[in-house]
Amino acid sequence: MGKVKFFVLLIALIGIMSIGFADVSYPYLTQYGPAIVNWGSNVKYGGTLKIILPNGPLQYSLNPFMGNNSTLPTSFIYESLFFINLTGDVTNMLGTSYKWTDNNTELDVTIRQGVKWSDGVPFTPQDVVFTFNYLKANPSIDLNGIWSSANDLVSVTASGDTVIFKLSQPNMALFQYLVGEPIIPEHIWANISDPAKYTNPNPVGTGPFLFKSFDQPANTVTYVKNPNYWMTGRPYLDSVVVTSVNSNDTCTLALIKHEYDMSNLYIPGVEQTYISKDPSNNKIWWPILGNNHLIFNDAKYPFNIPDFRKAISMAINRNFILTSLYGPQFSQYNNPTLITYPLRSWLDPTLTSLASSLVAYNPKAAQDLLASIGFKKNAQGLLTGPDGKVLPTFTLSVVTGWTDWVQAEAIIAQELKEIGLQVNPVQQSFGQYYSSLQTGTFDMSITWLNLGINPYTPYYFAFSPTQTAPIGQVASSNFSRYTNPLITDALQVFNTTSDQRLQRQAIYTIERIVLDDLPVAALLPVPMWDVYQTSTLAGFPDDQYPYYMVGSIQVAPEILALNIHLK
């Protein structure tokens, strides 16, 4: 299917701090936070976690700043200050606490003491300061744009065991970028003059594992336990092996044979195809994170008409699509907004009925709404505009090979015929597809969700004027080309305060406008897609232990490796 490859990019866009824990209850908390599970004192040590991913050939690079799904994973080796789930919950890593001061223009992070780099050199707050100033001196590796003028970062300094991030003005969205950056050792990287080209063949980190080897013909990388890791009693595992192959089918077969322990992929008919082969061991954890969307080109007629967009949404039978694509496991799914599913408590309760009505299948109401704005079916059943002319055939685009999206677009095209709209389903290479979104040359498209630890993130990347551009020019993420000054102002309010009451008021304002105009329509669920087997290992995340909710096991697999243990 391939979409897993883009979750890492999406997670890199997450931007908002959450105060306290979200809606998930964690009865198993450790001193570090909810991502590190307290399994008790009888956990078995040893064993190897074998992960298989459908990412194709791997490149021999262990550069933590330039990594992607095609390079060797580095988060087993390099750690960040904090780890944050999509529920907004914070787990302490190299940082032990943080606070905003000086009217939210200063972030103070207390740095963990007693940590050593894997070569035995003590880790200090100065390593953190060096990392961020190194990014400033080398913009080619600052892929999150931390030092971009738009992010308001002025300086990073240390005072005792505290690292101080100074901002020119409040920018709460910067929190996730700052605390998620991998921290590197000054005594190693100060000697690297061109870090963008550095493959880092002998990585030195603070993480729970050490790089051992890369077998390029087998496309397999091996990591071994760091015997001097700072987190007492962790990791339980002796090693981690990551193999990349070319297809979901290969991953599925390897898991069925118990040759590997875990992957991240969509398996059609998963109950019969996978779980039934060994029900006691073959498991999935597919918690819903949010929605993929049906996006309209709101800068193009007639998609620039809010009621036209609403009519399309009401003419789509989402329950039928869910059942056809995924079977019964998502049949009760209902999340009609851009609010991610773990954060659905942010939805204004007075808007619940309106939100649900816009995603409920009601083709008659859709036709009535179209007729009220002058769009009617002619004798041939084709939709005509207010001028009486038949509307042209519009395209609905997805990426070739993303099987569930391809199936969905075919169903949508058929269903929209009922309201007289002619739709041509189009599959494109990812490059063509993404280019059409960026330049606004599409009509309609199914697109992914920008995941976030608070609602600001999806709304910012979907509707901020800084993220869009006129048709023909490249937009960053606001591909619908929809903006609204009230939304822009509400985003600014949210981003400059840590007062949750004000933040909630800002989000409620945005929700009302989005539901009134429906610039994009919620469509398909975005699950985690974790698939694993427990014949030898235990401690995988599930409904009872939802310690790892980030979109993909490729985002921070070290958290998994810190919790998984011998059965």
**Residue 491, domain member (yes or no):** yes
Same domain, 275 and 293: no
- What is the per-residue pLDDT across 523-552, written as a single tens digit (0 to 9) for each? 988 888 999 999 999 999 998 999 998 878
Identify whether 51 is part of a domain. no
In this prediction, residue 340 carries a pLDDT of 81
Question: Could you tell me the residue range of the domain that residue 121 belongs to?
Answer: 3-42+58-204+533-566
Contacts of 387 (CB under 8 A, 6+ apart): none
Query: Residue 225 maps to which CATH number?
Result: 3.40.190.10
The DSSP symbol for 157 reads: E
In this structure, the strands spanning 288-296 and 444-447 are: antiparallel
One domain for residues 365 and 503: yes
What are the tens digits of pLDDT across the range 37-52? 999 989 999 999 999 9
**Of 285, 319, 339, which closes a domain?**
285
C-alpha 45: how far from its chain's center?
32
Same structural domain, 403 and 504: yes
Same domain? For 393 and 499 the reply is yes
Instruction: State how far the Cα of 247 lies from the Cα of 406, in Å rounded to an integer.
Output: 17
In angstroms, what CA-CA distances link 386 with 128, 312, 370, 521, 556? Answer: 62, 17, 10, 24, 53
**Final residue of a domain: which of 285, 314, 335?**
285
Looking at the structure, tell me whether residues 273 and 296 fall in a common domain. Answer: no
Same domain for 280 and 323, yes or no, is: no
The reply to whether 243 and 364 lie within a common domain is no
The token pair at 371 is 């007729």
Assess if residue 140 is contained within a domain: yes
pLDDT at 12: 34
Query: What local confidence, expressed as pLDDT, does residue 329 receive?
Result: 76
Q: What angle do CA 13, 342, 6 make, to 5 degrees?
A: 35
Residue 392: CB atoms within 10 A of its CB come to 10
- Domain of residue 139, CATH code: 3.90.76.10
Q: What is the pLDDT of residue 19?
A: 29
Domain of 364: which CATH number? Answer: 3.10.105.10
What's the confidence (pLDDT) of residue 173? 87
**Beta pairing class for 106-111 and 162-167:** antiparallel
246: its two tokens:
């070319």
Answer yes or no: is 354 within a domain.
yes
Residues 6+ apart with CB under 8 A from 59: 70, 71, 72
Q: How far are the Cα atoms of 123, 171, 337, 479 from residue 488, in angstroms, in the given order?
A: 41, 14, 18, 16
Q: Domain check: are 94 and 176 in the same one?
A: yes
Residues 269 and 298 in one domain: no
Together in a domain, 189 and 214: no
Asked if residue 396 is part of any domain, the answer here is yes
Does residue 101 sit in the same domain as residue 139? yes
Place of tokens 């009451």: 501
Residue spans of the chain under pLDDT 70:
1-27
Is the residue at 541 inside a domain?
A: yes
Among 563, 559, 554, residue whose Cα is nearest residue 263: 554
48, part of any domain: no
**Residue finishing a domain among 256, 285, 314:** 285
Dihedral sign, Cα of residue 159, residue 162, residue 164, residue 165? positive
414 shares its domain with 275: no
Structural domains counted in the chain: 3
The answer to whether 36 and 246 are in contact (CB under 8 A) is: no
Tell me if 49 is assigned to some domain.
no
